[in-house]
Amino acid sequence: MTDGPSDEVIGAAVLARQPDPVVVLGPDAALLWANPAALLRFGFSLDAVRGRPLHGLVHPDDLDTALLSLASVAAKDVGTLVEIRIRDAGGRYAWFEVRGGGWDDGPIAGAVILNLRDSTERRRWELGAGDHRMLGAILDATPTISMLLDADGSIRGANRALTRSLHRPLEGTLTHPLLDLVTPADRAAVGAVLHEVAGSGGTRQFEARLLAGDGTEIPMSLTVVDLVDDDAVRGLVVAASDISSLVEARAELRHLASHDDLTGLPNRTNLRERLAMILSQGSRGHSLLFGDVDTLKAINDRYGHRAGDAVLAQVAARLRSVMREGDFVARVSGDEFVMLVPTTKPRVIEDVRERIRSALDAPVELPDGTRVRVTMSTGVATTDATVDADELLAAADAAMYVAKRERSTPS
């Protein structure tokens, strides 16, 4: 064996001339050392980055991947290959394939050696080699709208789902701001999200209404992803899915929760919420008419509950027909209805009672064709500064029972 440089000297020389970046991280994920190729590629001096934590150099969206990989590789000779974006001294991110292993016999316990290979050009080459046609075809066939925005929110590109969903020509939307497609009521909120993502990165998901070509408002779920620092994209990616069915289902559920199934009128919960809102606003100029169908029990006993339900449905329709603009009618229990009117004037209240009596004058027809007469007793309570919604309902209920007793007492 001939004399010559030691293995350590040769190893150091080879590492110094390694064309790919090589770095050493400590157990706390801080950078301890980098070879000349790494310093040249990223534009940092070793003194500037020594001791710097990993999260300051890795793209925020890739940080979890990097930290999890780092935690697992410390106990391995060779770890799994991962691909992440790393920032250079100029603030630009590029894609790197990273593979590493634990350095058990090194001077620092728990250190990890990482080899980095720039994969940005390879990713571009793969796209330019023909994959773009396949990806483009897939993207155009998806039902989700996909758009690429410049950092200022202008549409640079979009798939054909935009035309299918919004009935707009693709060519007519390019270079225009995305906000032009958003309903006026939602523009400020969407603009704020775009500004936030462009400024601080990450991903945001939210709902907004987009305008179809004919002016129809379409509810959409939108996801905005920041890829401004990705050399292959340099923009914001927006995905938008039509959620009209979901919005309709929500509205139906809200309606079911706040309305009576049989009559379609607002229910007790709905009425209480309205009363609470009126009282919280300090409005005291309202009256409650609490009405009870006097003859319902007798109809149920003689003709059955199906007939009683028919009576309640027709009574509700007649009450609704005599309510004026600003009036509100609800069914609060089996045979009880409440009319909320924006007045406390006795003359107007008596006019409402008279209209209710007139509406119930005509007989009600049962499912078997039988015609029966229906009457209603009503009691009145007015809002004032000392009562809440439940107390007001209780007062009107008590007044109704007084009216019912008077009605049944022979004169």
How high is the pLDDT of residue 207? 94
Residue 157 is predicted with a pLDDT of: 85
The pTM of the whole model exceeds 0.85 = no
| Residues 322/343, Cβ–Cβ less than 8 Å | no
Domains along the chain with CATH numbers: 7-118 (3.30.450.20), 126-247 (3.30.450.20), 259-408 (3.30.70.270)
| 262 Cβ contact partners less than 8 Å away, ≥ 6 residues apart | 309, 312, 313, 316, 331
Spell 37-62 as b/e; 16+ CB within 10 A means b. Answer: bbbebbebeeeebeeeebeebbbebb
- Give per-residue pLDDT as tens, 275-313: 888 888 776 688 899 999 988 989 999 999 999 999 999
Q: Does 117 have pLDDT greater than 60?
A: yes
Q: pLDDT for 248-278, tens place per residue? A: 998 988 888 899 999 999 999 999 998 888 8
Give me the helix-helix angle, 305-322 and 346-359, nearest 10°. Answer: 140
For 46-64, what is the mean pLDDT? 83
Distances (CA, A) of 238 to 38, 110, 113, 136, 229: 34, 41, 37, 16, 15
pLDDT at 244 over 60: yes
Length of the chain equals: 411
Give the pLDDT score at 321: 92
Q: Which one, of 358, 260, 363, 274, lies nearest residue 316 by Cα?
A: 260
Classify strands 22-25 and 112-118 as parallel, antiparallel or unpaired.
antiparallel
Calpha distance 230→84 (Å, rounded): 11
Q: Which two tokens stand for residue 143?
A: 């039902």
Q: Quick one: which of 359, 165, 189, 136 has its CA closest to 244?
A: 165
The answer to whether the CB of 399 falls within 8 A of the CB of 391 is: no
Say whether pLDDT at 328 is over 90: yes
Q: Count of CB atoms within 10 A of residue 176's CB?
A: 13
Q: Name which residue leads in pLDDT, 12 or 243.
A: 243
325-332 mean pLDDT: 91
The answer to whether 116 touches 98, Cβ cutoff 8 Å, is: yes
Q: Which residues have CB under 8 Å from 389's CB, separation 6+?
A: 272, 275, 276, 279
pLDDT for 205: 92
Contacts of 396 (CB under 8 A, 6+ apart): 288, 289, 290, 338, 379, 380, 381
Q: Which amino acid is at 232?
A: A
- Residue 173 sits at φ, ψ, to 5 deg, of -105, -20
Percent of the chain with pLDDT over 90: 32
Residue written as tokens 């079911």? 256
List C-alpha distances in Å: 88 to 42, 225, 245, 361, 367: 4, 21, 46, 85, 81
Q: Is the pLDDT of residue 171 over 60?
A: yes
Let me know: does 314 contact 360? Beta carbons within 8 Å. no
Dig out the tokens for 288 from the structure: 């409650």
Q: What is the mean predicted confidence (pLDDT) over 45-64?
A: 84
pLDDT at 151: 84
Cα–Cα distance measured from residue 100 to residue 285, given in angstroms and rounded to the nearest whole number:
76
Q: Which residues pair with 155 in a beta bridge?
A: 149
Per-residue pLDDT at 318? 94
Contacts of 16 (CB under 8 A, 6+ apart): 35, 36
pLDDT band at 1 (very low <50, low <70, confident <90, very high): very low
- Give per-residue burial for 78-92: e unless 16+ CB within 10 Å, then b: ebeebebbbeeeeee
3-state secondary structure of 51: coil
Q: In degrees, to the nearest 5, what angle opens at C-alpha 239 toward C-alphas 233 and 241?
A: 165
State the pLDDT at residue 142: 76
Distance from C-alpha of 87 to C-alpha of 93, rounded to nearest angstrom: 4
- Cβ pair 183, 211 in contact under 8 A: yes
- Do residues 29 and 98 touch, judged by C-beta distance below 8 A? no
pLDDT reported for residue 206? 92
Strand 371-372 relative to strand 287-293, pairing? unpaired
**Furthest C-alpha separation in the chain:** 134
Q: Is the pLDDT of residue 329 over 90?
A: yes
Alpha-carbon 298 to chain mean position = 51
Residue 92 — very low, low, confident or very high, per pLDDT cuts 50/70/90? confident
β-sheet bridge partners, residue 147: 158, 238
Amino acid 131: pLDDT: 59
Lowest mean pLDDT among 36-50, 147-161, 338-352, 373-387: 373-387
